[in-house]
Every structure is written in C-alpha cells, then in structure tokens.
Amino acid sequence: MSGRFVVVGAGTMGLGIAYVAAGAGYAVELVEVDPDRGADAVRRLGELWDRAVQRGKLTAEAATANRVRVTLRAGLAEVAEGPDVIVEAVPERLDLKRAVLRQAEGRRPALLGSNTSSIPIAELADGLDRPADFLGLHFFNPVWAMALLEVVVGAATAPQTTEAAVALAARLGKDPVVVRDMPGFATSRLGVTLGLEAIRMVADGVAAPADIDKAMVLGYRHPVGPLELTDLVGLDVRLDIARTLQAAYGDRFAPPPLLVEMVAAGRLGKKSGQGFYTWEGGVKQ
C-alpha cells in the first residue's frame, strides 16, 4: 500500500502518528519548525523501530522500510501538493492551529485533520476554504499502543470525509468512534467527570488517593485509577479542560478548589514530581 501522509508537528503526538502511518505503508512527511525537535523525533522513531525488532514484533527489513518512508520537512511549503492525508499536531493554541491548518489546506490534501484534544472543530474550521474536507482526528498517547481514534465531525464536515476518516483508522490499525463536535468530545467529557469527582472525594476525606484509585481498578476494572491518571495527564491540563467544560456545560464541571490549589502550588503530577502521588524519575513512589 502506498499514499502520502503528512504530519505537522513532531512532538509527542506527531511522532506517534508518524510511527503508525509509516507502519501502515504511507510515505510520511514529518513537518517540524524546530530543527532540534525534528532531528530528535527522527532519532526516536529509529529507536522505537529498533526496539520493536529486538522484541520480535517487527522484522529488520520492515523496520528499515519504515525508517526510509519518513522524511523530515522544515515547513509545509516544502510539501508537494496532493497528499492523501494531513494531520495537524502542533500545540493546543487556537491561533497557531488556525494558521497551520490554512497553510495545510493550501497543499490540497484529500483529508485534513486536527489532533486537537479540546478546541471545537468549528472554531478551527473558521477561515478554511474547504471545511467539508476537515475534521478532528484525535489520537491517544502513546499512539502506537492506544487503539482508539476519536473522529470528531464538525458542522461543515462532509459525510464522505467522515467515511474517509473511518477507513483511515482501519488502515492505521485503530478502532474509531465517531462523535459530534461538542466540547470535550466523548473522551475528555467522561474522563474529566470521573477525575473531578475523585478529587472532590479526596477533599471530603472519603479515602486516601491510593484507595480511591484501587477501588476503581479492582472494583470496575479500570486499568488505572482516576487520580493516578490525573497525575499522568497533568493537573494543569485537567484544570484547563475543566474550565472549558464549565464554560460549555455549567457548574457540574466547576474545578474543585483542591485542584485549583494544587496547580497554584505547582503540584502538577508526574511532570513536577508531585501530585496526588510522589514521582521520582518518572516512577510513582
């Protein structure tokens, strides 16, 4: 199978999307404005494929073929017109994403997607000439391990664009859910609900964080508890999402005071070493 797949932004998510797209046989162009980050992403991709070979998950030939399929580009201007897919994975800032998407549209892709985790597709589509070809392609981290692709359908998205996104998911080995463009989509809205309630339970003294998490892991078969997950995602990130959802749906998403206090105190979870748990060297203590 062939085809051209462009990923804009070679950060955490862009790297993972490039990994699965190359593995699915696409010629991948990875667009990154920061040369150091770009070089680092290409090096990391090589390491990931080496590790897959060592674990017996990939042949050495397939790993080499994947590596050869990825080309680093310093800007969208270097991308030739007419790719099958462009996925935007730059930081979560409306103005930046809008500018990148407008430029991406100029490369005339058959399908244009954004990996936004919270910005409404309608707001991102504002200013596009062909919003019918555009939708949300919300991958999860780490992309190679997470089966879900949340396909977010904007008001202007054409039905054939949604069909193309579902077909793309199959080719990438992902399992799609199709959701309407509402704040928090399906994943963040439910996931954050659970996280916020767990934080209120800590504040109420219902149980220690480890016991609240254990209750959901053992009692409901969640792979990880809501407080540990909040530490992994980042308390600041969850606070931002809660505020966005509060503005959209009302005070049932009001951030608990404990969350606001912890963020103000710099207790952001794994990345700061302290959240509901203590983390050392990226490992929960």
Rounded to a whole number of angstroms, the minimum distance from the CB of residue 175 to ligand NAD is 16
- Beta carbons of 180 and 205 less than 8 angstroms apart: no
Residue 196's closest CA among 226, 152, 220? 226
Q: Pairing mode, if any, of strands 111-114 and 134-139? A: parallel
Give the up-direction half-sphere exposure of residue 95: CA atoms within 13 A in the CB hemisphere.
Answer: 0
Rounded to a whole number of angstroms, the minimum distance from the CB of residue 261 to ligand NAD is 24
Coil/strand/helix, residue 209: helix
Closest to ligand NAD by CB, 29 vs 213, is 29
Residues touching ligand NAD: how many (CB under 6 A)? 23
Rounded to a whole number of angstroms, the minimum distance from the CB of residue 142 to ligand NAD is 9
By CB under 6 A, is residue 115 in contact with ligand NAD?
Answer: yes
Rounded to a whole number of angstroms, the minimum distance from the CB of residue 14 to ligand NAD is 6
Residue 27's closest CA among 57, 13, 43, 7? 7
Closest to ligand NAD by CB, 201 vs 229, is 229
Rounded to a whole number of angstroms, the minimum distance from the CB of residue 115 to ligand NAD is 4
Report residue 94 as tokens: 């409306």
* Rg of the chain over all Cα atoms, to the nearest angstrom: 20
Question: Position 84: which residue type?
Answer: D
By CB under 6 A, is residue 230 in contact with ligand NAD?
Answer: no
Question: Position 265: which residue type?
Answer: A
Residues 233 and 269: their CA atoms lie apart, in Å, by 8
Site map for ligand NAD, 21-60, x if CB under 6 A? ----------xxxx--x-----------------------
Site map for ligand NAD, 258-277, x if CB under 6 A? --------------------
Using the rule CB under 6 A, give the single segment among 63-71, 83-91, 214-222, 273-281 that binds ligand NAD. 83-91
The Cβ of residue 75 has, within 10 Å, a number of other Cβ atoms equal to: 11
Closest to ligand NAD by CB, 34 vs 204, is 34
Binder among 63, 89, 137, 168 for ligand NAD (CB under 6 A): 89
Binder among 47, 55, 91, 219 for ligand NAD (CB under 6 A): 91
Give the position of tokens 């990825």: 70
Helices (H), 55-93: 60-69
Residue 120's closest CA among 247, 31, 252, 33? 247
By CB under 6 A, is residue 90 in contact with ligand NAD?
Answer: yes
Report residue 27 as tokens: 């010629």
Residue 87's closest CA among 145, 146, 143, 155? 143
By CB under 6 A, is residue 234 in contact with ligand NAD?
Answer: no
For the segment 139-178, give every residue that binds ligand NAD (CB under 6 A).
140-141
By CB under 6 A, is residue 205 in contact with ligand NAD?
Answer: no
Interface residues toward ligand NAD, by CB under 6 A: 8-14, 31-34, 37, 89-92, 96, 100, 115-117, 140-141
